[in-house]
């Protein structure tokens, strides 16, 4: 079965929603609907969003359509104390917008330096090289929080949106067994 | 309203809940000031994403050292504090943990010994309810039998225990503050592994499952009919004293809008956990206490500890159903306890918590056990892990050192109060202890049939010390009841009191010490609250 289709279908059918802004209104949509309707990204720039979606998708396939950009952006747009980002307990002081903006800008800049093209145009081999360099903190011009830490954080966020929700549990055969099911995915 | 408060407690977590319940049931008017939001058991949503709401969201803590204390992971806020998402692993400290300095010329001795604390362990065990097997748990110091049978051993525990067997090491069911049968109007565990997100059915003995409701429902003879209440979103900045500085008169707290309120009380108890308690004391400096309250010997914040810990992970041939059980684990092994001096210059006790229930995501989830796997290889790994993953964690002993401490930072919070800054380094001996344990863990996993076994990164589990108890003001901040040496009606509660860490999870001991303190306080009320 095509997983992307099944995830979209599931999220629609399950009624699990997030709050996003579409056409100047706050509405409740599933993450995949938010992604499909291009709901407004409030904190990250267009370039940062693209970098995030491409990189996260390379790390955790399915994370783009599962709504990685809306997940991170919605948390950055909300009050610090309500944040559901794992970064909250990795020792980085809030607010976290600056952290994400810095690592995404650093990522885009490194891609430009090393491959002389936008991240969305990297082929899979180049992406692998990039990830290898990031993991070893070997990108010479990297500016901002350490590259390997950035990898860990973005991968964890992408894991959250793909495997931290019921469909992800189902995909790998783990029964969710919620005591209290979340009303919204995040 | 102010003059009526008998006991003002800062925090509403594990330690606070015991003191509040016992004092309120004794007819005292108790107010708890809680920095975090109000929460009930019904707010504990079973999701590792939503579980993050329970984590610390107060003032940032700056951290340094070769093993940072990991405040934001190890602390929580809101009703019930960190206890709301703690895992309920409740072993007792051992006799030898109380005499580290005498026996090994390291760290500090406690002002009490195990026998002094044993009756309080027994009482708490009886009230909250513990499950375990006191016979198989051969390392357990003397105490009453567990009131409930142990948690079952599921496939993961059975598979891993084979590795321990092969090395002649013993395992026993893990002692848990988790109901294995319905008890005292609380339900039995259903082993779905959601403890980290908080157990909403009351099977796990967090503050909201037992002591807080008893405090909040206590109604004897105070004016409004209710003896205890919690004021939420109330961050205490300072403890106030009289001019002479020998009596605490109350506290200043800030609400969410930043408004400052002063509350006065006969007794002030700081139960804001091991980092914020010293921060509050240091931030309470005044002309009579220029270096902070209870800090005449420059000991506030010192002897900060965390248990150096390491996960061992593996993929086994046999199915493990790793989602089943309690997050804290199924089995325990303390064969590495008591003989603190080890080979190759390692020092300290350690224990294994075996076969923790795991979820796919979050810091301790399956995916993050192998952060190097990405892309197309990730899903197959997750599918295998979902059926064949196993894990255990070693909890090591820290050596208390004066230079590991909580200090005040130059940076300030939203109320203009200096932040806490912590420094925590482990010694070479401790490092060697964990290295040896990790090697043992990997060997055990291989012997148990792991096709792949790997160690996670080292991390600090639990936070302890910083306001240590002792016999003398020159060497400690409080006496054995948590009363500060300098100010009789100012008490400290929580793991900050521990003069040494042992290598067991601290919350059973936190409860026992809090019970000991409050019983002493109530029986000496007229002299202490004068
Ligand atoms: C994931 C996890 C799992 C754990 N599992 C176990 C386990 O299995 N076994 C075990 O023994 N221990 C475990 N622990 C540790 C245990 O939760 C803590 O040791 C225990 O809760 C500490 O109790 P406490 O009363 O000192 O602090 P807390 O329970 O944290 O309560 C302190 C309260 O004070 C409040 N506060 C802080 N500052 C202020 C202020 N300035 N003003 C007002 N309020 C303030 C906080 O918001 C908090 O609610 C675990 C911890 C974590 C994070
Ligand atoms: S495993 Fe047991 S204690 Fe943990 S959340 Fe589930 S029912 Fe509660």
Q: Is A140 part of any domain?
A: yes
Q: Kind of pairing, strands B389-396 and B305-316?
A: antiparallel
- Give pLDDT, residue A183: 87
Angle CA(B476)–CA(B480)–CA(B481) in degrees, nearest 5? 120
Please name the residue that has the structure tokens 């975090």. B36
- How many helices (H) and strands (E) are present in chain A, helices listed first? 9, 2
- Closest ligand to C-alpha of residue B395 is 1
Q: Is the pLDDT of residue A9 over 70?
A: no
Q: What is the mean pLDDT of chain B?
A: 96
Q: Is A51 part of any domain?
A: yes
Q: Is the pLDDT of residue A185 over 90?
A: no
Cβ burial of A5 (10 Å; 0-12, 13-18, 19+) is: exposed
Q: How many CB pairs under 8 A join A and B?
A: 135
Q: Is B308 part of any domain?
A: yes
Query: What is the domain extent for residue A145?
Result: 43-172
**Given pLDDT bands bounded at 50, 70 and 90, which one contains residue A7?**
very low
CB-CB under 8 Å, A61 with B386: no
Q: How many domains does chain B have?
A: 1
- Closest ligand to C-alpha of residue B44 is 2
Q: Is A27 part of any domain?
A: no
Q: Is B1 part of any domain?
A: no
Please name the residue that has the structure tokens 């076994």. B453
Rg (CA), chain A: 16
Residues forming a β-bridge with B26: none
Q: Is the pLDDT of residue A26 over 90?
A: no
Q: Is A101 part of any domain?
A: yes
Q: How far apart (Å, rounded) are the C-alpha atoms in residues A131 and A114?
A: 12
Q: Which of B197, B199, B365, B382 to mutate to test the interface with A (most CBs of A within 10 A)?
A: B382
Q: Which of B205, B212, B187, B204 is nearest to B78 (CA)?
A: B212
pTM, 2 dp: 0.95
Distance B325 CA to ligand 2 centre (A): 8
Ligand 1 lined by B130 (C-beta under 6 Å): no
Q: Is the pLDDT of residue A4 over 60?
A: no
Encoding tokens for residue B211?
């002591």
- Give pLDDT, residue B385: 98
CB-CB under 8 Å, A159 with B52: no
Residues forming a β-bridge with B61: B420
CB-CB under 8 Å, B365 with A172: no
Q: Which of B93, B175, B8, B124 is nearest to B498 (CA)?
A: B93
- Give pLDDT, residue A14: 40
**Given pLDDT bands bounded at 50, 70 and 90, which one contains residue A28?**
confident
Distance B265 CA to ligand 2 centre (A): 38
Q: Summarize pLDDT for A91-103 with one digit per residue, the tens.
A: 899 999 999 999 9
Q: Is B513 part of any domain?
A: yes
Q: Kind of pairing, strands B267-270 and B7-10?
A: parallel
Ligand 1 lined by B329 (C-beta under 6 Å): no
**Given pLDDT bands bounded at 50, 70 and 90, which one contains residue A90?**
very high
Please name the residue that has the structure tokens 């938010």. A34
Q: Is the pLDDT of residue B129 over 70?
A: yes
- The domain spanning residue B161 has which CATH number? 3.50.50.60
Which is the closest atom of ligand 1 to the Cα of B79? 49
Could you tell me if A73 lies within 8 Å of chain B, comparing CB atoms? no
**DSSP characters over B57-93:** -SS-EEEESSS---HHHH-B-STTGGGGG---B-PPP
Q: Is the pLDDT of residue B1 over 60?
A: no
- Give pLDDT, residue B494: 98
**Given pLDDT bands bounded at 50, 70 and 90, which one contains residue A2?**
very low
CB-CB under 8 Å, A168 with B360: yes
**Given pLDDT bands bounded at 50, 70 and 90, which one contains residue B221?**
low
Q: Is A158 part of any domain?
A: yes
Q: Which of B208, B187, B195 is nearest to B81 (CA)?
A: B208
- Give pLDDT, residue A13: 35
Q: Is B2 part of any domain?
A: no
Q: Is the pLDDT of residue B118 over 50?
A: yes
Answer for the pair B328, B353: CB distance below 8 angstroms, yes or no: yes
Q: How far apart (Å, rounded) are the C-alpha atoms in residues B355 and B322?
A: 8
Using an 8 Å CB-CB cutoff, list chain A residues near B372: 135
Distance B311 CA to ligand 2 centre (A): 21
Q: Summarize pLDDT for B238-281 with one digit per residue, the tens.
A: 999 999 999 999 999 999 999 999 999 999 999 999 999 999 99
Q: Is A112 part of any domain?
A: yes
Ligand 2 lined by B194 (C-beta under 6 Å): yes
Distance B217 CA to ligand 1 centre (A): 22
Ligand 1 lined by B175 (C-beta under 6 Å): no
The DSSP symbol for B110 reads -
- Give pLDDT, residue B100: 95
Q: Find the mean pLDDT for residues B364-390.
A: 98
Encoding tokens for residue A164?
């931290």
Distance B230 CA to ligand 1 centre (A): 16
Ligand 1 lined by B322 (C-beta under 6 Å): no
Locate the chain B residue with the closest alpha carbon to A124: B375
- Give pLDDT, residue A186: 83
Q: Which of B363, B372, B380 is nearest to B460 (CA)?
A: B363
Q: Summarize pLDDT for B150-176 with one digit per residue, the tens.
A: 999 999 999 999 999 999 999 999 999
Using an 8 Å CB-CB cutoff, list chain A residues near B367: 155-156, 159, 163
Locate the chain A residue with the closest alpha carbon to B379: A172
- Give pLDDT, residue B169: 98
Q: Summarize pLDDT for B292-305 with one digit per residue, the tens.
A: 999 999 999 999 99
Locate the chain B residue with the closest alpha carbon to A136: B372
Q: Summarize pLDDT for B85-111 with one digit per residue, the tens.
A: 999 999 999 999 999 999 999 999 999
CB-CB under 8 Å, A177 with B46: yes
Residue B192's φ and ψ, nearest 5 degrees, are -100, 0
- Give pLDDT, residue B338: 83
Q: Is the dihedral of CA B227, B231, B232, B236 positive or negative?
A: negative
Ligand 2 lined by B41 (C-beta under 6 Å): no
Q: Summarize pLDDT for A122-157 with one digit per residue, the tens.
A: 999 999 999 999 999 999 989 889 999 999 999 999
Could you tell me if A135 lies within 8 Å of chain B, comparing CB atoms? yes
Q: How far apart (Å, rounded) are the C-alpha atoms in residues B195 and B36?
A: 20
Q: Summarize pLDDT for B339-373 with one digit per residue, the tens.
A: 777 778 999 999 999 999 999 999 999 999 999 99
Q: How far is CA B477 from the centre of its chain?
A: 19
CB-CB under 8 Å, A173 with B386: yes
Ligand 1 lined by B34 (C-beta under 6 Å): yes
Q: Which of B359, B375, B420, B463 to mutate to test the interface with A (most CBs of A within 10 A)?
A: B375
Using an 8 Å CB-CB cutoff, list chain B residues near A122: none
Percent of chain B with pLDDT over 70: 98
- Give pLDDT, residue A144: 82
Q: Which of A3, A81, A153 to mutate to test the interface with B (most CBs of B within 10 A)?
A: A81
Answer for the pair A160, A83: CB distance below 8 angstroms, yes or no: no
Rg (CA), chain B: 22
Q: Kind of pairing, strands B260-264 and B7-10?
A: unpaired
Answer for the pair A185, A14: CB distance below 8 angstroms, yes or no: no
Q: Is the pLDDT of residue B223 over 60?
A: no
Using an 8 Å CB-CB cutoff, list chain A residues near B47: 164, 178, 182
**Given pLDDT bands bounded at 50, 70 and 90, which one contains residue B121?**
very high
Q: Find the mean pLDDT for residues B207-221.
A: 91
Q: Is the pLDDT of residue A1 over 70?
A: no
Answer for the pair A120, A49: CB distance below 8 angstroms, yes or no: no
Q: Is B397 part of any domain?
A: yes
Answer for the pair B160, B324: CB distance below 8 angstroms, yes or no: no
Query: What is the domain extent for residue B253?
Result: 7-528
Q: How far apart (Å, rounded) are the C-alpha atoms in residues A145 and A103?
A: 7
Residue B175's φ and ψ, nearest 5 degrees, are -75, 125
Using an 8 Å CB-CB cutoff, list chain B residues near A175: 323
Q: Summarize pLDDT for B474-498 with one digit per residue, the tens.
A: 999 999 999 999 999 999 999 999 9
Could you tell me if A53 lies within 8 Å of chain B, comparing CB atoms? no
Using an 8 Å CB-CB cutoff, list chain B residues near A81: 37, 57
Question: Which residues touch B362 (CB under 8 Å, ≥6 apart)?
Answer: A86, A156, A160, A164, B48, B49, B51, B196, B368
Q: How many domains does chain A have?
A: 1
Q: Summarize pLDDT for B43-92 with one digit per residue, the tens.
A: 999 999 999 999 999 999 999 999 999 999 999 999 999 999 999 999 99
Q: Is A26 part of any domain?
A: no
- Closest ligand to C-alpha of residue B351 is 1
């Amino acid at each position: 079965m095509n997983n992307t289709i099944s995830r979209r279908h599931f999220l629609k059918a399950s009624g699990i929603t997030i709050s996003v802004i579409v056409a100047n209104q706050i509405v409740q949509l599933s993450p995949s609907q938010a992604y499909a309707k291009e709901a407004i990204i409030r904190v990250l720039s267009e370039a940062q969003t693209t970098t995030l979606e491409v990189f996260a998708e390379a790390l955790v396939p399915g994370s783009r359509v599962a709504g990685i950009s809306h997940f991170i952006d919605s948390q950055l747009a909300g009050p610090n104390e309500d944040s559901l980002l794992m970064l909250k307990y990795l020792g980085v002081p809030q607010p976290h917008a600056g952290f994400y903006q810095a690592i995404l800008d650093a990522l885009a800049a490194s891609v430009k330096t090393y491959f002389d093209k936008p991240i969305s145009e990297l082929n899979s081999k180049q992406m692998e090289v990039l990830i290898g360099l990031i993991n070893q903190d070997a990108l010479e011009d990297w500016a901002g929080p350490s590259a390997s830490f950035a990898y860990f954080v973005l991968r964890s966020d992408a894991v959250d949106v793909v495997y931290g929700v019921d469909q992800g549990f189902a995909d790998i055969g783990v029964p969710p067994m919620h005591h209290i099911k979340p009303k919204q995915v995040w | 309203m102010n003059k009526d408060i008998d006991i003002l407690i800062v925090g509403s977590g594990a330690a606070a809940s015991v003191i509040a319940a016992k004092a309120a049931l004794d007819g005292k008017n108790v107010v708890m000031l809680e920095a975090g939001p109000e929460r009930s058991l019904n707010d504990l949503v079973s999701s590792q994403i939503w579980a993050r709401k329970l984590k610390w969201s107060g003032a940032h803590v700056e951290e340094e050292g070769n093993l940072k204390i990991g405040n934001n992971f190890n602390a929580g806020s809101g009703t019930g504090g960190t206890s709301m998402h703690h895992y309920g692993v409740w072993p007792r400290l051992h006799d030898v943990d109380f005499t580290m300095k005498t026996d090994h010329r390291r760290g500090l001795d406690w002002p009490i010994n195990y026998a002094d604390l044993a009756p309080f362990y027994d009482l708490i065990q009886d009230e909250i309810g513990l499950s375990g097997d006191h016979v198989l748990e051969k390392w357990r110091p003397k105490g009453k039998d567990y009131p409930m049978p142990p948690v079952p051993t599921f496939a993961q525990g059975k598979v891993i225990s084979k590795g321990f067997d092969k090395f002649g090491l013993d395992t026993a069911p893990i002692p848990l503050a988790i109901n294995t049968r319905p008890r005292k109007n609380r339900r039995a565990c259903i082993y779905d592994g959601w403890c980290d997100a908080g157990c909403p059915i009351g099977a796990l003995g967090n503050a909201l499952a037992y002591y807080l409701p008893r405090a909040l429902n206590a109604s004897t003879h105070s004016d409004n009919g209710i003896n205890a209440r919690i004021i939420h979103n109330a961050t205490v900045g300072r403890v106030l004293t009289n001019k002479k500085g020998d009596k605490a008169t109350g506290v200043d707290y800030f609400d969410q809008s930043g408004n400052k309120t002063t509350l006065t009380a006969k007794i002030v108890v700081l139960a804001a956990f091991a980092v914020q308690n010293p921060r509050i004391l240091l931030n309470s400096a005044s002309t009579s206490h220029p270096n902070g309250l209870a800090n005449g010997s420059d000991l506030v914040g010192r002897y900060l500890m965390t248990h150096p810990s390491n996960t061992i992970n593996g993929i086994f041939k046999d199915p493990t159903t790793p989602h089943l059980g309690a997050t804290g684990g199924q089995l325990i092994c303390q064969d590495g306890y008591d003989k603190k001096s080890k080979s190759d210059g390692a020092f300290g006790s350690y224990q294994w918590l075996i076969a923790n229930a795991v979820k796919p995501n979050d810091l301790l989830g399956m995916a993050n056990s192998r952060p190097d796997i990405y892309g197309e290889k990730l899903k197959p790994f997750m599918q295998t892990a979902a059926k064949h993953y196993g894990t255990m964690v070693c909890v090591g002993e820290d050596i208390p050192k004066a230079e590991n401490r909580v200090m005040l930072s130059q940076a300030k919070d939203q109320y203009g109060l200096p932040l806490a800054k912590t420094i925590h380094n482990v010694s070479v001996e401790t490092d060697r202890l964990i290295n040896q344990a990790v090697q043992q863990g990997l060997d055990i996993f291989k012997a148990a049939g792991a096709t792949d076994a790997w160690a996670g990164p080292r991390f600090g589990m639990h936070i302890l010390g910083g306001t240590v108890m002792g016999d003398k003001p020159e060497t400690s901040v409080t006496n054995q009841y948590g009363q500060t040496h300098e100010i009789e009606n100012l008490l400290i509660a929580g793991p900050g009191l521990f003069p040494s860490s042992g290598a067991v999870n601290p919350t059973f001991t936190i409860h026992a010490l809090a019970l000991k303190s409050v019983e002493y306080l109530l029986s000496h009320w007229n002299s202490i609250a004068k």
